[in-house]
Structure 1
Amino acid sequence: MNAPDDFPQARVLHSIEAEQAVLGGLLLDNDAIDRISGLDAAHFYRDDHRVIYGAIVRLVSANKPADVLTVFEQLQVEGRAERVGGLSYLNAVAQNTPSAANIARYAEIVRDRALLRDTAATARKVLELVETPGPMKGAEIVDKAQGLLGQLTQVGVQRGPKMLYDLMTDFVERVDERYHSRVEPGVPTGIGSLDRALNGGFHDGNLIIVAGRPSMGKTALTTDIGLNMADAGRSVLLDSMEMSDQELVARAAANRGGIHLSALLSGRLGDGDWPRLTHAIQLMGDMRFAIDDTPAMTLLEVRTKAKAHKRKFGLDALIVDYLGLMSGGEEKMRTQQIGAYSRGLKSLAKELNIPVIALAQLSRKNEERPDKKPILSDLRDSGDIEQDADVVIFVHRPEMYDPNNDELKGYAELLIRKNRNGALCDVPLLYRGAVTKFDEWTGPLPMLSHGPAVRKRGIAADL
């Protein structure tokens, strides 16, 4: 039975005419090869076309002419002349192409059809994953399928070497744009001194580790930063494996409304607190700040949920609280598991092109030192965290070790101990624990029991 005339036809996954036009254009004008950037022999559907294109590219790359005769001779030397139909087919291809004027468009068609064929092949692989019995779970198959489809976006993308002078034009344009807009690159944290220390804030593709001993304010800091980002119109996802979503909502309301967290948790609000709570609710009403309080997430769950969230709502920053509470993985030793999580989060940051902020715990080693300040080797469970991170920030509150020193009340330091694209320094802040918020520190630095809190000259002094 014939299909009706209006029945949609299957999409054609190749264009012989476009492939012949590309080959003919190159045979007529070798310089046209500069106008087909990204075209590869593998993009051609027909084998003989792949062979001819390869021969043309090799001749041109060797600064030799590539016309009908020279290409035929090259193929004869390689023993593949008859494989492509000989001299008669090469002549036909050249004669049926009027000029190389539209070769860029022909090449685009060839690449597009190749992408369609790759997509169809990937779809078959995904179907095979689904239908073939095996140990993979449904979520793992979905993640594998997303990875396979994600690779298709790289078809035709050129990531080869580029000359410095070719890169300078784009670089100067970016510098000029930043100069006139006065906007620094990066995702601002909303804490001015921290943004200046990090050259504009957290940067896309970076893994930022925020670490500290218990009760230092790691979650308060990252939640505060996440709210600042959302308040500026960005989309933030917080994966909280330690606190419930209701606890985090209470912290957010305290932070934005300036209400004591204890009052919100106990329900003992004063008359003046209700207007502030209403104001906080209004502020947060339009924020794209999402909370997922699933406990003990696996790396696969973090990846899958982040990708899905970006597709649905956009995603400018991901916060993972915290590394030590993640689960799963094939590694047997805990240090190896944590290392796998940090590598996976770094990979996710690059894949989604967003900053990923992960919280981590510290060992007690810093408490054995006179100044109590943590160092990189104090990172708990795995040295891979230090290696994988682009930025490592320690949250340090001296008042926790010297509670009788009134000068230290609320004094906090963000110790930047790794920064791939900037200086290392200490950023002094005021921590208002009652409302779980960090503000700029004003005035002189407090005196510590072991000596004054002195910032490194020429680094943090300029913040």
Structure 2
Amino acid sequence: MNMNEPQHLLPPHSIDAEHAVLGALMRWPETFDQVGDLRARHFYRDDHRSIFTEIVRLAERGQATDVMSVLAAMESRGGVFDGNLGAYLNQIAQSVPTSFHAAQHARIVVDRALLRALIATSDKIAGVAYAPKGQTADQVLDHAQSLVTGLAERRVRNEPRMVREILLEFVDGVARRAEGEDSAISTGISELDSMLNGGFRPQQLIIVAGRPSMGKTALSADIGINIAEDRSVLMFSMEMSGQEVAGRALANRGGVHLAKVMGRVAADETEVWNGISHGIIRLNDSRFAIDDTPAITLLELRMKAKAWKRKHGLDVIIVDYIGLMQGGEGDKRTDQIGSYSRGLKALAKELGVAVIALAQLNRKSEERGDKKPILSDLRDSGEIEQDADVVILVHRPEMHNPNAEHLRGFTEALIRKQRSGALGDVHLMFDGPTCRFSRWSGAPPSASEEQTAGKSRGFGNR
């Protein structure tokens, strides 16, 4: 043999394991409880797939699955088989002395099928790489990653279940939440957690929207820094540089005015330096990462998030903000924004993370008397509202009435969509110098107070 010639290898398979499973099913019907997610497609040989399919059909009808029953059923269908089918079925059945190892043999059959699927997928990836048909290398790579991920997802068995079975798990979850155990990701702001049934959850797309300077970035970053004390957070900041985000984080955790942190600190300003040192210590173990790539595409964002999760783990992604992304589908801006929201929702489900995406609101809210935003104010695309699991609109009345002392720092987080919870308003206190949110103490300012304060300062007709 010429060693330089390609060797034609047989695909991975195990005839012995396939015989063992089929023989056990024909001799001991209760073996079905042991074979897990085994399906006809997992068998290497066509005749083995046909035999398994017939055994399953008989079992589903409550009929016997012994050799004679399987033989009669298969002959009635008129299939074409090489050799004596009856003798072959009997040989398979007699070759299995016990059903004790049926589960192990079934796993071998499934594993070999997965290896064959991996080879087929590799061939498909190679074909696309050789002939990308206009796709960039990054797009081909992302497609390849999705194909391989899809193979893993096929291993997960997901079948309908009776509601009584699901309720057992649900009640168990209720009990765990009562004991302080929950899968929810706490925002670090107790009032917000209360409205969100404990916080954000994996696979959710959370939209935080507001007019410019209303604090949507500050709120999202504050929540991200809170979460990063226990979990992994990755923030894509397209509007601010990594230095600016880091400066805000330092002001937030060090209790130092942002203007001081971003400006010049004199050598004798001991209190400021102490605050900076305290902030650095608190952030040292924080799992808060920042990517400040401007105008990032959805593809780039997906690939970076996947890579970060593989290397460091990932629980929450923050996108600031969705309107600055590039490369969306369609010619119209509304179609492109819609493709971003769909893509971010798909990414949340694929990676099992919560995605917090910031969005702008249009000017309609400023035309209303109370200036409060509503869902329809979401800018550029109604698909953002459709794709989101939670929508939080950030409103700071003081931005419309800057001289009203009673409004200083008052912020409303208006929960206007929540698939699995109630809607409502969360009243917060925003400390601008340190970019931090906390509980608003006391009653919220009333509309009459705002109007009175505005008129007394000449704002009544604005």
Scaled by the length of structure 1, the TM-score of the pair is 0.92
What is the rounded CA distance, in whole Å, between the counterparts of 2:40 and 2:66 in structure 1? 18
Residue 194 of structure 1 pairs with residue 166 of structure 2: no
Please list the CA deviations of residues 47-66 of structure 1 after superposition, one character each: whole Å capped at 9, or x if unmatched: 11001001111111111112
Letter matched to residue 101 of structure 1: F
What is the rounded CA distance, in whole Å, between the counterparts of 1:157 and 1:43 in structure 2? 14
Q: How does 1:349-428 map to 2 (within 5 A)?
A: 349-428=348-427
What is the rounded CA distance, in whole Å, between the counterparts of 1:183 and 1:409 in structure 2? 36
What is the rounded CA distance, in whole Å, between the counterparts of 2:83 and 2:134 in structure 1? 45
Q: How does 1:342-353 map to 2 (within 5 A)?
A: 342-353=341-352
**Contact preservation (8 Å) 1:407, 1:447:** no
Letter matched to residue 211 of structure 1: A
Letter matched to residue 193 of structure 1: E
SS at match of 1:153: helix
Q: Which runs of 5+ in 2 are unaligned?
A: 4-8, 452-462
Q: How does 1:240-251 map to 2 (within 5 A)?
A: 240-251=237-248
What is the rounded CA distance, in whole Å, between the counterparts of 1:208 and 1:160 in structure 2? 29
Q: How does 1:10-25 map to 2 (within 5 A)?
A: 13-25=12-24
Please tell me the root mean square deviation across aligned C-alpha atoms, in Å. 1.8
Q: How does 1:189-338 map to 2 (within 5 A)?
A: 189-231=187-229, 233-268=230-265, 270-338=269-337
Partner of 2:75: 76
What is the rounded CA distance, in whole Å, between the counterparts of 2:165 and 2:446 in structure 1? 53
Please list the CA deviations of residues 71-129 of structure 1 after superposition, one character each: whole Å capped at 9, or x if unmatched: 11111111115257411101100111112222111111111111111112112222222
SS at match of 2:428: strand
Shift of 1:44: 0.3
SS at match of 1:154: helix
Q: How does 1:88-127 map to 2 (within 5 A)?
A: 88-127=87-126
Scaled by the length of structure 2, the TM-score of the pair is 0.93
Shift of 1:221: 0.6
Letter matched to residue 236 of structure 1: V
What is the rounded CA distance, in whole Å, between the counterparts of 1:200 and 1:165 in structure 2? 25
**Contact preservation (8 Å) 1:75, 1:81:** no
Partner of 1:63: 62
SS at match of 2:207: strand
What is the rounded CA distance, in whole Å, between the counterparts of 1:329 and 1:399 in structure 2? 36
Partner of 1:164: 163
Structure 1 range deviating more: 282-291 or 306-315: 282-291
How many residue pairs get aligned? The number is 444
What is the rounded CA distance, in whole Å, between the counterparts of 2:329 and 2:413 in structure 1? 34
Shift of 1:172: 3.0
**Contact preservation (8 Å) 1:296, 1:327:** yes
What is the rounded CA distance, in whole Å, between the counterparts of 1:173 and 1:393 in structure 2? 29
**Contact preservation (8 Å) 2:228, 2:286:** yes
What is the rounded CA distance, in whole Å, between the counterparts of 1:259 and 1:131 in structure 2? 56
Structure 1 range deviating more: 371-380 or 160-169: 160-169
What is the rounded CA distance, in whole Å, between the counterparts of 1:312 and 1:133 in structure 2? 28
Letter matched to residue 370 of structure 2: D
Letter matched to residue 241 of structure 2: S
Shift of 1:283: 1.0
Shift of 1:450: 6.8
Letter matched to residue 76 of structure 1: E
Letter matched to residue 134 of structure 2: P
Partner of 1:40: 39
What is the rounded CA distance, in whole Å, between the counterparts of 2:444 and 2:150 in structure 1? 52
Q: Which runs of 5+ in 1 are unaligned?
A: 4-9, 453-463
Shift of 1:379: 0.2
SS at match of 1:89: helix
Partner of 2:6: none
